[in-house]
Amino acid sequence: MGIDLPLIWFLIIIFSTMMYIVMDGFDLGIGILYPMVKGQADRDLMMNSVAPVWDGNETWLVLGGAGLFGAFPLAYAVILDALAIPLTLMLLGLIFRGVAFEFRFKSAPKHQPIWDKAFIAGSIIATFIQGVVVGAVIEGFPVENRTYIGGSFDWLSPFPLFCGFGLLIAYGLLGCGWLVMKTEGHLQKKMLRLLRPLTLLMLVIITIVSVWTPLSQPAIADRWFSLPNLFFFLPVPLLVLWSGWKLLVANQNGGHYTPFLAALLLVFMGFSGLGISIWPNIIPPFISYEEAASPPESLGFMLVGALFIIPIILTYTYWSYYVFRGKITHEQGYH
C-alpha cells in the first residue's frame, strides 16, 4: 500500500491554516481591541506584547499558501480567481498593519495616532476578509471544466460576510485572552471585563453558523446528523460548550492562563467543525483534494522540503515564545 501523498499534503495545509488562525489570530485581535483602549501607554503595552512574535506567526500563512499552490494547483487557481478582490484587500490590510508595527515606535509622538489608525484598520480589514474567504470556501464555488465560472463579487453574499464578522469576534476573543495572560493591573482587569461579552457573542455566532450551514447545504446536514457520524462528531460541540464555560468561569475567577487557552480551544473547535463539513472537498461542493492534487512526483519532491522546513518553523516558534514568556510591563520597550 503506497503513501497517500495528496492526503498528507491536505493535512499539512490544514495544519498550517489552523496554526495561522490560532497564532496570528490573537495578534490581529490586539488591533481589533485597540479602539477600546485609549491610553497611549496601554496601547504601547498591547503592541509590545506581540511585537516579538507577530511576524513569525505569519510564516504559517506563507507555508499554507505556498503548499496550496504547489500541491493543489487547481484549488489555488479557482480560489484565486474567485476571491482575487478580497485576497488583495487582505494583503493590503496585512501590509498596513506590518508597517504600523515598525513606524509607530519610530515616529514623532504627534504622528503616532496615524499609525494607530493604520494598525487598527489593517487588523480589522485583514481579519474580516479572512472570515469572508473562509465563508466563501464553505459556501462553495461553481466550477466547470476545471475553471471557475462565477462572478468576481460572488463572495459578497450573506454567509461569507457573516463569517467575516464572526472572525472579528473570534480574533478579538483570542486577543483578549492573550492580554489577560500577558498583562497585569488595570489593563488586565479591562480585558477580563471584555471576556464575558466576547465569549457569549462568540458562542452565539458559532450556533448561528452551525445552524446556517446544514440548512443551506443538505450534504452538510447529512454529514453531521446521520448515524454513526452524529456520535463520532459529538465531541466537537461538547468541547465548544466546555471551552465557553471555562472562559466564563475564568472571567469570574480572574484566571491568567485559562482565558487564552480556552479561547484557543474554542476557535480551534469552531474551525474543526467547518473542516468536517466540507471534507474531503478542497473546492466545495464537488472537487475533492485527490482530484485537485498535483502529480505524485511533484508532491513527493515537495514533501521532502516540507519535512525539513516545518520542524524548523516549529522550533523557532517554540523558542521565540519561550524567550519572551511571562508578563510584560510598561518598563519594557519595543522588541
pLDDT digit string (tens) for 34-92? 888 887 777 778 888 777 777 777 788 888 888 888 888 888 888 888 888 999 999 89
**100 assigned to some structural domain:** yes
**214 assigned to some structural domain:** no
**260 assigned to some structural domain:** no
**Is 160 within 8 Å of 136 (Cβ atoms)?**
yes
The reported pTM is 0.88
**Is 314 within 8 Å of 15 (Cβ atoms)?**
no
Ordered per-residue pLDDT tens for the chain, 335 residues: 467 888 888 888 888 888 888 888 888 888 899 888 887 777 778 888 777 777 777 788 888 888 888 888 888 888 888 888 999 999 898 888 888 877 777 766 777 778 878 888 888 999 999 999 988 888 888 888 878 888 888 888 898 999 999 999 999 999 888 888 888 878 888 888 888 899 899 999 988 988 888 877 777 777 777 778 777 888 888 888 888 888 888 777 767 788 888 888 888 888 888 788 788 778 887 788 888 888 888 888 888 888 888 898 888 888 888 877 777 765 555 44
Query: Which pLDDT belongs to residue 107?
Result: 67
Query: Which pLDDT belongs to residue 62?
Result: 84
Query: Which pLDDT belongs to residue 1?
Result: 47
Work out the angle at residue 21's Cα, subtended by the Cα atoms of residues 211 and 221, and round it to the nearest 5 degrees.
20
Cβ neighbours, 10 Å, residue 182: 24
CA atoms within 13 A on the CB side of 78: 24
Task: Tell whether omega for the bond before 295 is within 30 degrees of 0, i.e. cis.
Answer: no
**132 assigned to some structural domain:** yes
Query: Which pLDDT belongs to residue 168?
Result: 94
* Owning domain of residue 23: 5-194+290-324
**Is 82 within 8 Å of 147 (Cβ atoms)?**
no
Cβ neighbours, 10 Å, residue 275: 14
**273 assigned to some structural domain:** no
Query: Which pLDDT belongs to residue 332?
Result: 56
Coil, helix or strand at residue 289: helix
**302 assigned to some structural domain:** yes
**203 assigned to some structural domain:** no
Partners of 283 in beta bridges: 287
Between CA 124 and CA 31 the distance in angstroms is 7
Closest by CA to 137, choosing from 64, 186, 198, 192, is 64
- Say which residue the cell 458559532 belongs to: 206
Query: Which pLDDT belongs to residue 108?
Result: 67
Partners of 253 in beta bridges: none
Domain count for the chain = 1
**312 assigned to some structural domain:** yes
Between CA 23 and CA 122 the distance in angstroms is 17
Between CA 28 and CA 123 the distance in angstroms is 5
